[in-house]
Structure 1
């Protein structure tokens, strides 16, 4: 590859990686602002948890439709439109007088903007970096920035909140949007938009409603068990209706929101499950530890953020080693090792928190968790994306990001609901134990991945 081509690819990769950082940052930085926001907006910890979970849920519910829209309107246009909507939502959240406006700007507008801009990030990367090692390097940079955004969000958000205000953290996001838009001017779409494609509105509505009902049911667990069961049952019924609709539309010769063929590839499905569990554990741990340190232990935003620098350091070390590790180890080995380290990190968090009230006892566990998550983010994405050809990248990118963001929202909803139901040391232990079980589940699933290098399945 010539230096000119390599330089052009790096120039494109920078705004794509920054976009992933921005969206991951938005999901975790709120965790250290819980006390400040709840006092300023006269709401509760549960209210802020709702806003965070809704943001992650909107991303998950709309990511598949967002991936399909990239084929219809083009990847560059969707990327730019998503950034602009995200930026407007950040400005609205920065001036929010109450929880409702915060939810509108942060949870809805920024969530929808993310669903528009993230699928193009992964599609463009897959199309521009076609061999395994260069793609591993590119995805390594993107996933590293995503992981760093999630892990460093508490630190950066804590610094901004302590120095200025929680509102300034949203202003920071709006400024970053401007930078990404300017850097993204050099991005060119390698494939033309296909305006002849139809958009499956019914499928989009059914998938979104089903996911919303499921996560809302989990959030209702600490208020009304029967409401929880009713919402969960309704969610599963709607999702069953979605798959029935897709099957009928395919048989009728139409274009469904997502082809059922996407879910018929065993290795890709295993990769999707590992992605879901990685983000469930990462975002669940971030919310639970940050909330516990602030609400139960009484630490402020900057103190909580500094403690999370251990997780950021772990992610930095392992994520930026993605290319070198991909050359030496099978992706199955990397994912399994990542889950094992993550489970061990959560075990340390639980064990050490019981012997000392010093907040720094959380650092070793967070460091190990960060190392584990960073180690497996890239190989899991490679497993999924590499299983499909160029013509299906829009579809699988939407599915992949939807599954990952669903994991994020489930982590915040499940572990967060366990914690806020009591806001005690016992509730913290129960929430973290739940996340440890999820990490061990991911380890078990990863054991079924192929032992060799990633290959494209026939299908």
Structure 2
């Protein structure tokens, strides 16, 4: 929306950024409630970990279908529907009498709601902010709120849990949802819905089932190696069947859930890898440090949340500087530097915690991790989104958010599996080291991004064509 007035832009951007905040908040705030929830609901730490992971997994599994439904139902309608489903899940979680109801409310309903509302956030941002500068600012604000939501979740959740109870944290989410619904009335969907557009139901089921099996396989590693292997192989086979189904629909001239053309762009593929790795590291570090502080060090929810403030400040500082950094540095450079700083942060965290018993030993490392992750969240999104035309924004937005949320669920699953195998100092260090090694993989992927010229300015109503080199 070239020439959009500053006040109007803020009114449109506020609910979109707040929606990303609350969804990211929901993915991390339960980390500081592990002991409170397990005691209140008479369950185990592993049971709470499963609930957290299922929430992230449901988001990842349904984000692609959610993105596709925006074309059929309309972007604003999907946004509002997702907010309502999410709100119902938050209320149900607040009154949950046991782990099963908590999983239904938090893991299932909030996960489904998120999958419906997040793709419209990114599609509407792309369509409403059409010039390069305003779109960069908008994505920077949304990614900043997402990063801060994930990093500040432990602090906010800890304060609410200690002052009232863990249930009040879900009431807080429901109230925020009400605010977003009210603010969303100012948003106009720039494209009409197409109710006649076909929806690939079989593809949606296959993609979701494959992702579920893969992450459940990771969760099962600690309990049963053979079961884990079977689940992982099953997930791989189902996903192979999904891609075979998609190719078959394309050959018949029918619209699939996800076009295979999305995977033919090397720059986009590498950008998706960096997105997945960033969120895997963020949620993995959040879960690992929160569990260690509470279970091993014996800190309460507020103490744990305060320690995470360093990461929150780091993400906020670097994310809000995204537009300024993008004008001075290539996107490829920002992503690579972000990985280097985040990996260095993990090394500093391990070194200081090993030699210093105090809580402040966590601050320098968490600050570096926050700075590194915040610096590369926005460039990675820009790299991927700018590779495709506006006609493909629904598909790529769903795929992009699915890959990112899959990274979140894998981060919690991988780190949690290592921790649950033996909550000790050794297990904590092993989980953090594993996250650092995975970060090195993300750094390699960032290094493989093209060194081509800086992307041309995106004029109103257009985007960079597929294959445009991104840095």
TM-score normalized with structure 1 length: 0.99
Give the aligned partner of residue 453 of structure 1: 454
SS of 1:222's equivalent in the other structure is coil
Query: How many residue pairs are counted as aligned between the two chains?
Result: 459
Give the aligned partner of residue 293 of structure 2: 293
SS of 1:354's equivalent in the other structure is helix
Find the aligned partners of 2:204 and 2:402 in 1 and give their Cα distance.
Answer: 12
Which runs of structure 2 are paired with 1:407-446 in the superposition (5 Å)? 407-446=407-446
SS of 1:130's equivalent in the other structure is coil
Tell me by how many angstroms 1:7 deviates. Answer: 2.2
Find the aligned partners of 1:183 and 1:16 in 2 and give their Cα distance.
Answer: 9
Find the aligned partners of 1:453 and 1:33 in 2 and give their Cα distance.
Answer: 45
Find the aligned partners of 1:336 and 1:164 in 2 and give their Cα distance.
Answer: 42
Give the aligned partner of residue 239 of structure 2: 239
Find the aligned partners of 2:8 and 2:450 in 1 and give their Cα distance.
Answer: 34
Gaps of at least 5 residues in structure 1 are none
Which runs of structure 2 are paired with 1:262-341 in the superposition (5 Å)? 262-341=262-341
Which runs of structure 2 are paired with 1:63-142 in the superposition (5 Å)? 63-142=63-142
Give the aligned partner of residue 347 of structure 1: 347
Tell me by how many angstroms 1:397 deviates. Answer: 0.3
Find the aligned partners of 2:409 and 2:352 in 1 and give their Cα distance.
Answer: 27
Which runs of structure 2 are paired with 1:83-232 in the superposition (5 Å)? 83-232=83-232
- Checking the alignment, whether the CA contact within 8 Å between 2:389 and 2:466 is kept in structure 1 is no
Of 298-307 and 5-14, more deviation after overlay is shown by 5-14
SS of 1:188's equivalent in the other structure is coil
Find the aligned partners of 2:2 and 2:124 in 1 and give their Cα distance.
Answer: 20
Find the aligned partners of 1:165 and 1:357 in 2 and give their Cα distance.
Answer: 29
Give a deviation string over 1:168-189, Cα, whole Å, max 9, x none: 0000000000000001100000
- Checking the alignment, whether the CA contact within 8 Å between 1:314 and 1:370 is kept in structure 2 is yes
Tell me by how many angstroms 1:458 deviates. Answer: 3.5
Tell me by how many angstroms 1:385 deviates. Answer: 0.5
Find the aligned partners of 1:96 and 1:198 in 2 and give their Cα distance.
Answer: 38
Structure 1 residues 406 and 4, CA gap change in structure 2 (3 angstroms): closer
Tell me by how many angstroms 1:128 deviates. Answer: 1.2
Gaps of at least 5 residues in structure 2 are 457-463
Find the aligned partners of 2:2 and 2:448 in 1 and give their Cα distance.
Answer: 39
SS of 2:291's equivalent in the other structure is helix
Find the aligned partners of 2:435 and 2:268 in 1 and give their Cα distance.
Answer: 23
Tell me by how many angstroms 1:134 deviates. Answer: 1.7
Find the aligned partners of 2:94 and 2:391 in 1 and give their Cα distance.
Answer: 40
Give the aligned partner of residue 399 of structure 2: 399
- Checking the alignment, whether the CA contact within 8 Å between 2:46 and 2:420 is kept in structure 1 is yes
- Checking the alignment, whether the CA contact within 8 Å between 1:151 and 1:308 is kept in structure 2 is yes
Correspondence 1:48 to 2:48: yes
Find the aligned partners of 1:288 and 1:420 in 2 and give their Cα distance.
Answer: 10
- Checking the alignment, whether the CA contact within 8 Å between 2:314 and 2:368 is kept in structure 1 is yes
SS of 2:355's equivalent in the other structure is coil
- Checking the alignment, whether the CA contact within 8 Å between 1:421 and 1:427 is kept in structure 2 is yes
SS of 1:449's equivalent in the other structure is coil
Tell me by how many angstroms 1:454 deviates. Answer: 3.4
Find the aligned partners of 1:454 and 1:93 in 2 and give their Cα distance.
Answer: 45
SS of 2:5's equivalent in the other structure is helix
Give the aligned partner of residue 460 of structure 2: none
Tell me by how many angstroms 1:255 deviates. Answer: 0.7
Tell me by how many angstroms 1:162 deviates. Answer: 0.5
Find the aligned partners of 1:383 and 1:128 in 2 and give their Cα distance.
Answer: 18
- Checking the alignment, whether the CA contact within 8 Å between 1:133 and 1:327 is kept in structure 2 is no
Give the aligned partner of residue 253 of structure 1: 253
Structure 1 residues 131 and 449, CA gap change in structure 2 (3 angstroms): farther
- Checking the alignment, whether the CA contact within 8 Å between 2:2 and 2:130 is kept in structure 1 is no
Find the aligned partners of 2:349 and 2:67 in 1 and give their Cα distance.
Answer: 37
Find the aligned partners of 2:119 and 2:277 in 1 and give their Cα distance.
Answer: 19
Find the aligned partners of 1:297 and 1:416 in 2 and give their Cα distance.
Answer: 17
Find the aligned partners of 2:300 and 2:281 in 1 and give their Cα distance.
Answer: 23
- Checking the alignment, whether the CA contact within 8 Å between 1:331 and 1:454 is kept in structure 2 is no
Find the aligned partners of 1:266 and 1:169 in 2 and give their Cα distance.
Answer: 42
- Checking the alignment, whether the CA contact within 8 Å between 1:382 and 1:454 is kept in structure 2 is no
